[in-house]
Amino acid sequence: MVPDLLGPGDFPALAAHLVRQSRVSDTAGLPLYSPFRPMLPESLARLPTLWARPVTEPYWQRKWGIRDAVGGEIVAYCSLTGAELPAELHRARVALGVEPAFRRRGFGLALLRAAVAFAREAGLAWIDLTVLAHNEPALALYRKLGFVEVGRSADRFRVGATSIEEIAMTLALDRPAPARDHLSSPWR
């Protein structure tokens, strides 16, 4: 399976995936993986404009997805988001989500590898992420790819009466050639 780089035409399918996934966090015995309320499609409306930004501008974003072979719906995604300040554009943040029925099939690993390859080709130096400390499957995946823990925030979130610790991780990338123009934006 090769993840697809998503474009503006994929926005409705991605929005549907994000809404479905956010609604199952902390349900049916699954670990809480997001302390945020379920995502609403209208809150996702700004994503296509971020996808068009070049990697040399703050808040650029690229997303990859994997579709269900049967229904064609996006069932897993990974995003890389550029920093907010020009002085930190050598870094990006990664986020990953795989719907429960599609976990343990290698989708997360394939998506992260696509994001890391893009980051290296774009000339980035670091990829950062945060993960909830009790999410052992995610921690194992990130460690497998070489992410290392750089800090912890005790009691970072409170959901109901539950205190949740957050772990910050980073991946140092090899120093590749400078960013190439074709990475700036595939939709301009």
| pTM attached to this predicted model | 0.80
**Do 107 and 1 touch, CB atoms closer than 8 A?**
yes
| Whole-number Å distance between alpha carbons of 174 and 110 | 19
For the chain, domains (ranges, CATH) are: 4-183 (3.40.630.30)
**DSSP H or E segment with residue 110:** helix 107-121
Tens of pLDDT along the chain (188 residues) come to 789 898 888 888 888 888 888 776 555 454 455 554 555 555 566 666 777 788 999 999 999 999 998 888 999 999 999 999 999 999 999 999 999 999 999 999 999 999 999 999 999 999 999 999 999 999 999 999 999 999 998 998 887 788 889 999 999 997 444 444 445 444 43
Helices H / strands E in the chain, number of each: 4, 7
**What's the confidence (pLDDT) of residue 178?**
45
Backbone angles phi, psi at 25, to 5 degrees: -60, 130
167 token code pair:
């772990």
Output the pLDDT for position 47.
Answer: 65
What is the end-to-end Cα distance of the chain in Å, rounded?
27
